Structure 1
Amino acid sequence: MFSHKGKTRTEKHNLAIASLLSFVAGLVNVVGFFSVNTLTTNVTGHFAFFIDEAFHRNIYLAFNAAFYVFSFFVGAFFSSFVVEIYLRRRENLMYVIPTLVEAFILIGIGLSGSWLVENNPDIVAFALLFAMGMQNALVTTISNAVVRTTHLTGLFTDMGIEFSQLFFYRDRANRIKLLKSIRLRLTIIWMFFAGGIAGGYLHSEFGLNALLFGAFLLLAGLLLDFIKIRILLRRHANNV
């Protein structure tokens, strides 16, 4: 799911990682919004808010909005930087550090977020935007930009294009390729939606502790990948 990159990835790999990470992103989006009234998985709205506040010379609010955008950017930069380092050293571990950092951020905010919400809610938003920037950059890199999980605008755009192309591409190979791509995008959309529903319910019951469930899913995904790799290595060793 995580450990394959680029051309070595199959549709099954992309569906698996899309399902996991889009569910987590949907959960983070809703829990973050319900907790601090701020979108925490994309920056489009924050950029518009920054322009509006800057135009009205509300410097503090404009700076705050700009830092939301910057947090997402820094998360994406950090994730990509770590991936590039491990690509040159131990490629099979390139996804581990960003995923662990994201999981630990969710754990940290989940355990201390109630105090932060009361005293400095912006820290919650900054941390979650950083985590989602990491996630989006990681999945974009390892899937060769086939999978994106933290926001839906581009997904609906791409899916609209692909649905229109179904009326024009009649040959079997192109139609199969289009249908596979549409299925992947629908999976991301539905899992993001499911994560949002789960996030809404869990937040109503546990508040920011709901983020612990997202962290658990990330760590479970890493553990599953580790187990699969160990099994494959053992089979390879037995066959040699």
Structure 2
Amino acid sequence: MFKHQGKKRTVQHNLRIAIVLSFVAGIVNVSGILAFNELTTNVTGHFALFIRDVADFKVWKGTIYFLYIFSFLFGSFSSNILIETFKENKKLNVFVIPTLIECVILSGVAIMSNTSQFNPELMVCLLLFAMGLQNSFVTKLSNAVVRTTHLTGLFTDLGIELSHLFFPKTHPNRKEIKSTIKLRLYIIAFFFLGGLSAGFFYSTLELKLNTLLLGVAILLLSLYYDDMRLKFIKVKRRQRRMRKYSNIIRKRARLNFYRKKP
């Protein structure tokens, strides 16, 4: 799901990565709300608050919301810079790099939350940077089919696609529309489940921001699963080629035997 790109990418690949990343985004979203009372997966609300403070001539106070917006933007920018820089390296899965950076950031926030060097504004900036990274690379990887850090665009697309089902003459590709609707519903459902899990771990189990380590574990397990699955597929293909080659050799040997036979 992290490896396949372009024409090689299928609906199933997008569905798998959407489930994983939307669940992680749900964890980050609720953890950020509970810890800082701030949005940590999107910047729409921060932009509104920034404009409010500027309109009230509280420019300095609004600067923090500008930093939140910039952090998300810089995360997206950095993710794509990394992808474009290393995409020519065929041996390297470039989408693993921003995923690992996201893991480091989430782990760092969890660790720093247990120390005296805890700065809430910096933590929010780091989480927004991580979500910018995630949203950028999954958008690039899925060719803008999957977005996982906020739901506004998802509900808009879902509403449009549901309405297309009522007009079969102008939108005859119902199978494709239904698969896209399924993808949107999975993203929404797992974003919700991620948030629900975060609420349980954060409040009920009192793990606080250590809840982010759950997201890190899911990302690392997904990378490991993806790598092992790819290796398994390569081994199966190699075995299939070897069997095919062995069959050809046996057939040729049999033909040579009958030709030599008087």
Tell me whether the two structures share a fold, i.e. TM-score over 0.5: yes
Please give the alpha-carbon distance, in whole angstroms, between the structure 1 residues aligned to 2:89 and 2:148. Answer: 27
> 2-side partners of 1:102 and 1:79: how far apart?
10
Which residue number in structure 2 is paired with residue 211 of structure 1? 212
CA–CA distance in structure 1, aligned partners of residues 184 and 158 of structure 2 = 7
> In 2, distance between residues paired with 1:86 and 1:235?
28
**Displacement of 1:119:** 4.2
Aligned partner of 1:176: which letter?
K
Normalized per residue, which structure has more helix? Answer: 1
Structure 1: segments with no counterpart, 5+ residues: none
TM-score (norm 1): 0.95
| Secondary structure, counterpart of 1:77 in structure 2 | helix
- 8 Å contact kept, 2:164–2:171: no
Q: Is the alpha carbon distance of 1:151 and 1:121 closer, same or farther for their aligned partners in structure 2, counting shifts above 3 Å?
A: same
Give deviations 1:198-221, integer Å, cap 9, x for gaps: 011111120000000000000001
Determine if the alignment matches structure 1 residue 18 to structure 2 residue 18: yes
> What is the alpha-carbon distance in structure 1 between the residues aligned to residue 186 and residue 59 of structure 2?
41
Q: What's the secondary structure of 1:93's corresponding residue?
A: coil
Report the Cα distance in structure 2 between the residues aligned to 1:106 and 1:119, rounded to whole angstroms. 14
Q: Does 1:194 align with 2:176?
A: no
Change in Cα spacing, 1:170 to 1:91, as seen in structure 2 (3 Å) is farther
1:222 corresponding residue in structure 2: 223
Please list every run of 5 or more consecutive structure 2 residues that lacks an aligned counterpart in the other structure.
Answer: 243-262
Could you tell me how far apart the structure 2 residues matched to 1:135 and 1:91 are?
A: 22
Q: Which has the larger radius of gyration?
A: 2
Of 85-94 and 184-193, the range deviating more from structure 2: 85-94
Separation in 2, partners of 1:173, 1:165: 9
- RMSD, aligned α-carbons: 1.7
Query: Conserved in 2, the CA contact under 8 Å of 1:19 and 1:188?
Result: yes
CA distance in 2, matches of 1:208, 1:110: 5
Give the distance between the partners of 1:92 and 1:155, measured in 2 at CA: 31
**2:165–2:171 CA contact under 8 A, matched in 1:** no
Which residue identity lines up with residue 16 of structure 1 in the other structure?
R
**Post-superposition shift, 1:60?**
2.5
1:231 correspondence with 2:232:
yes
Q: Describe the SS at the equivalent of 1:20.
A: helix
SS at match of 2:113: helix
What corresponds to 2:46 in structure 1? 46
Percent identity over the alignment is: 46
SS of 2:14's equivalent? helix
Q: Within 5 Å, which residues of 2 pair with 1:163-174?
A: 163-170=162-169, 174=173
Partner of 2:155: 156
Q: Name the TM-score, length of structure 2 as normaliser.
A: 0.87
Q: How does 1:18-37 map to 2 (within 5 A)?
A: 18-37=18-37
Q: Residues 100-134 of structure 1: CA distance to partner in whole angstroms, max 9, x if unpaired?
A: 00011111111222437x84200110000000000
